Amino acid sequence: MIGVAFETKKISRTSNDRKGKLFIVGIIACLVGFVGLGFVAQRLGPPGPRKSGGEIAYVLSSNPESRNGSAVRMVSADGTNDREITAGRMAVWAPNGSVFVCKRSISNTPTNEWVIVSREGKYLANVYGSSLEARSFTWSPDGRKLAVAGHGELQILNADGTDLTVVTTNTSRIVSPSWIESGTRVVFYGGDGIYSVAVDGSDKHRIADGDGALWVSSDGKLLCYLSKNNVYVVGPDGKNPRLILSALMPMDVVWSRDSKDIAYTWSGSSGNSITYYIGVVQRDGSHNRPYWVSGDSPAWDPQGKSIAFLTGSSNGNVLCIQDADNFDPKIRIITEVGSTEKFKWSPDGMYFVYQGGDGRLYRVPRGGGVSVLLTQQTSDVNDAVAWFPAARL
């Protein structure tokens, strides 16, 4: 019994010793690990702020180095690699940022021409020459086709200028051509109503009344249009239009990314002055939120949760942001008074690019803060700014 008791006690002591040694080894390993991590952190430094990548396209106005006086340019989101793509103005970019169409002058003539140019600056094709002046351009959702409207004629062609099809002619007016049904059809205002036509020119028919303005949803399955100061939403077949806003003439209508909500501006008069306000309504007309916040140029963030817009007074505009569902009377001001003329969300919704009062482009976080100068030159206030993900070259 004594021997058994002794052996049991001996085994227990040996087990405890091993546990103690393992515990000590673990402590040493942890200390070494912490020291190593500290060394690495000291070598690498603290993590930097998150930066939204990609490239920003803009038009440089009155470029003395360009024979056209203006140039389409592109700059990286961190302000580096600012470069000219081609001479021209009024650039309209494809959604994927691979190509654009722009207007430029023909040397030693008063004539303008519209050309398609790649993101790398390669000339691809002419769209319109001197015989017919284009009025509007709309790219298909995949950026492979271009709808061109001008002087009662609607054309559709490939992004490289090939396979040009005259879709419709002899129409008194063609306004707001837009792509629907995944790019298989185009809708437009034709002077006496809204028409739909297949990309090959077949099956043209009138689908709704209208006063000229129409806005297609982000998914291409619905369209919003104005008729006698009322706003309607209807499907591509034109059946059963739904009244969503009455006795209202919106200046801006912008669909959310999920095509469930519509942001709009509406006017309210006070004496002899007219002020524009921001509102949001669901596509079926419910949950209308006509916010009494003066502003224009509403733009949804990529996640569809917030709306950015411009507001201001005689001292200039400021960029603001507002939650689309939970309206807060105290709007968040992102830029300083008099500093913003136009703006664009970054692809990830974390930043804005905007044109300052000095005409140059700046980047600022969506929560506000320090603005970073991107361009040393002045961008054209009448031309759009576009922000694309990094190119896959």
**pLDDT tens-place string over residues 17-53:** 544 444 444 544 444 444 443 433 333 333 333 455 7
Q: How many helices (H) and strands (E) does the chain have?
A: 1, 32
pLDDT tens track for 316-359:
889 999 888 876 666 788 988 777 888 999 999 999 999 998 88
Residues whose CB is less than 8 angstroms from the CB of residue 284 and which lie 6 or more positions away in sequence, other chains included: 233, 242, 244
pLDDT of residue 273: 66
Position 12 pLDDT exceeds 50: no
Residue 298 CB contacts under 8 Å (≥ 6 apart), including other chains: 252, 254, 263, 264, 265, 278, 307, 308, 309
What's the pLDDT score for residue 333? 87
The per-residue pLDDT for 196 is 93
Asked if pLDDT for residue 65 goes beyond 90, the answer is no
Q: Which residue has the higher pLDDT, 175 or 124?
A: 124
What is the DSSP code string of 202-254?
-S-EEEE--SS-EEE-TTSS-EEEEETTEEEEE-TT--S-EEEE-S---S-EE
Q: Is the pLDDT of residue 187 over 80?
A: yes
pLDDT, position 377: 84
Q: What is the pLDDT of residue 18?
A: 47
Q: How far apart are CA 33 and CA 287, in angstroms?
A: 56
Confidence category of residue 292, pLDDT binned at 50, 70, 90: low
Q: What is the pLDDT of residue 122?
A: 93
Average pLDDT over residues 380-385: 82
Query: DSSP label at 374?
Result: -
More confident residue, 253 or 53: 253
| Section 279-303 average pLDDT | 88
Q: Is the dihedral of CA 31, 37, 43, 47 positive or negative?
A: negative
Residue 66: other Cβ atoms inside 10 A: 18
Q: Is the pLDDT of residue 259 over 90?
A: yes
Identify the pLDDT of residue 108.
Answer: 58
User: Over the stretch 99-141, which tens digit does the pLDDT of each residue have?
Assistant: 999 988 766 555 678 899 999 999 999 886 444 566 789 999 9
pLDDT at 389 over 90: no
The overall average pLDDT reported for the chain is 79
Please determine, for residue 198, whether its predicted confidence score (pLDDT) is greater than 50.
yes
Cβ-Cβ contacts under 8 Å for 21 (sequence gap 6 or more) = none
Residues 6+ apart with CB under 8 A from 264: 231, 245, 250, 252, 253, 254, 278, 279, 280, 281, 298
Upper half-sphere CA count for residue 9 (Cβ side, 13 Å)? 6
Contact between 145 and 186 under an 8 Å Cβ cutoff? The reply is: no
